[in-house]
Every structure is written in C-alpha cells, then in structure tokens.
Structure 1
C-alpha cells in the first residue's frame, strides 16, 4: 500500500498541465501550412531567448496569409513553462 501511495504521489508531482487556446482567426481560408515558434521559461523569470511570436511562427511555416493563430502553454510542476505559438495558413 505504501508503494502505491508513493507511486501516485510521485506521478502527481511529475505531471504536466497543457492548454491550447485560440488567439485569432482571419477571413483567409484555412491553409495546409503550419508553422510554430516556442520559448521556455524557468520559474517565469528566466527565458531561453526563444522567439514565440506570430511573425516567427509564420516565417518558419512559409506562411504569407495567416488563417488562424493558437497559443499552447505547458508547465511542469510550475517550475518549467513551455510556450508555443501555432500559425496556419497559406
């Protein structure tokens, strides 16, 4: 029983939380291209220098006409946060 409780507690500590939310949509038709850009933070204070901007995500996907923009946020134990901007279009 103690092993089960320890395993559940450890699993709970190592769990992550991930949320993806829509940010914007345009009147452009939804395209087949997808681009993403991301950055990572520690304790919300120190960032890795990544660029999670819409412009960078569109450039990486070769997108000139943006259709939709989504934002994904994932955190691990409220220590490490990963942030990603996802752009679709043509």
Structure 2
C-alpha cells in the first residue's frame, strides 16, 4: 500500500497541464511563416521578460499579414506557468 501511495504522489507531483486554444482567424491565406512569443511566470507573481504578444510573435517571424493566432498555456503545479502566442501568416 505504501508503494502505491508513493507512486500516486510522484505522479501528481510530476503532472502538468497544457492547453492550446485558437484566438483569432482572418480571411488571409494560411502562410508558411510561424512566429512565437513566450512568457514564463513563477508562482503567479514573478515574470521576467514577459512579452507574449501577437505583435512580438509576428515581428519575430517577419509576418505582415496574420492568418491565425493561437494561445498555449502550460502550468506545472501552479509554480511555473508558460504562456505562448503562436501566429501564422505571410
């Protein structure tokens, strides 16, 4: 029984949650360029170099006509949160 409890405890500690959601789509063609902007926060308080904006993602890939925008959020035990903006276009 102790082994089972230990296995469950380790599994819960190592678990995380990630979700990707569509934010916006335009009538522009889906382009070959993909830009990403990422921000990481710690304990919902600390954030260093946090700019996960659509503008930064588009600029990073040289996109002038945005086709789609997706948002990905990853959470590890509420300690580390990662936010990522994914932009596609030409």
Indicate the TM-score class for this superposition, using the shorter chain for normalisation: over 0.9
Unaligned runs of 5+ in 2: none
- TM-score, length-normalised on structure 2? 0.93
- Aligned counterpart, 1:36: 36
Aligned CA RMSD, in angstroms, stands at: 1.0
Find out whether 1:54 has 2:24 as its counterpart: no
The CA distance in 1 between the partners of 2:3 and 2:33, in whole Å, is 48
Find out whether 1:27 has 2:27 as its counterpart: yes
- Three-state SS of the structure 1 residue aligned to 2:5 is helix
Find out whether 1:5 has 2:10 as its counterpart: no
Number of aligned residues = 90
- TM-score, length-normalised on structure 1? 0.93
Unaligned runs of 5+ in 1: none
CA deviations on 1:42-75 (whole Å, 9 max, x unpaired) are: 1211111231010100111111110000000000
